[in-house]
Structure 1
Amino acid sequence: MAARDIKPLVLYGIYPTANPVKVAIILEILNIPYELKSTDFRQCKEPEYLAINPNGRCPAIHDPNTGLSLWESGAIVEYLVDEYDKENTISFSSLHEKYHLRQWLHFQVSGQGPYIGQFSWFKWYHVEKFPSAVDRYAKETRRVMGVVDLGLKDKEWLVGGKMTYADICLVPWFFWAKRIGGDEWYAEQVSELPNFQKWWNKIIEVPKIKEFCAGIAQFDPSYVPKDVLDRLNNKTA
């Protein structure tokens, strides 16, 4: 399908939260036309959106070119790469690299995002303050950074010698961790991770990544409305 023939996809997302940013960067780097439907925390629970994503979370997409609606950011990334990265710009078709890419993506969605998400929850939003919980998820975030550092040993990029979606998908959540912990905390965490630092300093200068992740750096925690926080804290139905 020629680029000029592609109808714009619809991306539903709360900007600048990490998972919608992750999908937006993939769309941008692959030059896939799309329309961002900015969705707030309340709209995610309304019937119109729940018909698209019964989990009531962002992101979700609709692709009018194939008629597919899809939610869960990892599934969305795999779909976009399979359907629109035929030239392997940020992917590989060879067996080992193909599955190593998926390995890192699965690590990101199961082992990186949830820990950093809990880091933000207990730091900013939980109705009761549990310093031990904040400390636990801060340490888990550091552990995840260490995994990436080991994965980059003697390598510039995680898979196959070039920047791929495996690298890209990790970046928004690490930006989120930096926003939660602060610059000084972040610098301390990566101080003994030379492979991570070298990779990070390179990838954050990629124009589309730099552009989209700038919003995360400026995120205001008070953006989440009180009634939404009450519901998330199980104070209301």
Structure 2
Amino acid sequence: MSHGKQFTLYMHTTGPNGWFVAFALEELGLTYEPVYLNFQKGEQKAPAHTQYNPNGRIPTIIDHHNGDFVLWESCAILLYLVDKYDTEKRLTVTDDKKYTLFQWLFFQASGQGCVLFQVAFEIPYFGQAFWFMKWHSEKIPGAVERYQKETLRVFGVLDGVLAKSPSGYLVGDKVTIADLAFVSWNRAAVTGMVPAMEGVDVEKQFPAFYAWYQKVNARPAVKKVLDLYDQLQ
């Protein structure tokens, strides 16, 4: 593999978590070569990938400007990128606010985020809703209802906090990696990929969330990555 670009990013054309790493790379002006693993062929579990990520999931990065340093888990990657390369603190914060940023990253990972397909899926709410409504061979109404409610609850948490934020962002007065971490699954939900949101008027029911969603998605770096995502679908 050519290392003409600083990072190799193992990801998936649809799976959301790799894409919000790409948002941060673009925001920071860091070059990267995406490697789109084919989940149907099990490429995420193949030795070519597991030699770097023994968990066999995405995303995984290799930083070729730092001794081919390897890191996996999306939120850990975001923290690495800002610690190592965000010298101007464009996407991060200092002092006690950094713990609030950590809080939102952990909430995203545990309460919202998930790998989309069943061969690599994790357990948080959005993915559970998608799994039980779309992929599970047996319809389980109780599970569907539970994860529909939990998905909406997560949106309610975000909406309530954002409604009280003077800046309209999760931490401080600017966009941070905490906001970027939510973009992929937010978009999947708003555009109908997450079945739990079908029939929900997001703009009306979660207005502060929707304003935040629109504002973050309109950022040039984010829009550039989303345009690429759309081209690959």
Is TM more than 0.5 here? Answer: yes
- Asked if the contact 2:7–2:64 (Cα under 8 Å) also holds between the matched residues in 1, the reply is yes
2:221 pairs with 1:208: yes
- Long gaps (5+) in structure 2: 114-123
Deviations 1:118-176 (A, max 9, x none): 11111221121223322211211111111111221332111111111111111111112
Secondary structure (helix, strand or coil) at the match of 2:199 reads helix
- Asked if the contact 1:44–1:58 (Cα under 8 Å) also holds between the matched residues in 2, the reply is yes
The residue number in structure 2 matching 1:37 is 35
2:172 pairs with 1:172: no
CA drift at 1:191: 2.6
The residue number in structure 1 matching 2:171 is 159
The residue number in structure 1 matching 2:57 is 57
Tell me the C-alpha RMSD between the 2 structures: 2.2
Structure-1 separation of matches of 2:143 and 2:231: 24
Structure-2 separation of matches of 1:12 and 1:164: 23
- Asked if the contact 2:151–2:196 (Cα under 8 Å) also holds between the matched residues in 1, the reply is no
Deviations 1:8-56 (A, max 9, x none): 1100011221100111111111111111111111111112211111111
Secondary structure (helix, strand or coil) at the match of 1:140 reads helix
Structure-2 separation of matches of 1:176 and 1:219: 15
Deviations 1:164-201 (A, max 9, x none): 111111111111223223875342x5533222122122
The residue number in structure 2 matching 1:136 is 146
The residue number in structure 2 matching 1:14 is 12
Over the matched positions of the two proteins, sequence identity in percent amounts to 42
Runs of 4+ displaced beyond 6 Å: 215-220
Structure with the higher helix share, 1 or 2:
1
Q: What is the TM-score of this pair, normalised by structure 2? A: 0.83
- Asked if the contact 1:9–1:62 (Cα under 8 Å) also holds between the matched residues in 2, the reply is yes
Aligned residues: 213
Secondary structure (helix, strand or coil) at the match of 1:70 reads strand
Structure-1 separation of matches of 2:228 and 2:128: 20
2:96 pairs with 1:96: yes
Structure-2 separation of matches of 1:48 and 1:193: 43
Amino acid aligned to 1:89? R
- Long gaps (5+) in structure 1: 1-5, 221-237
- Asked if the contact 1:141–1:177 (Cα under 8 Å) also holds between the matched residues in 2, the reply is no
Question: How has the CA–CA distance of structure 1 residues 122 and 182 changed in structure 2, closer, same or farther, with 3 Å as cutoff?
Answer: closer
Amino acid aligned to 1:212? V
Deviations 1:64-99 (A, max 9, x none): 12221011111111101111111011111x212211
Q: What is the TM-score of this pair, normalised by structure 1? A: 0.82
- Asked if the contact 2:5–2:33 (Cα under 8 Å) also holds between the matched residues in 1, the reply is no
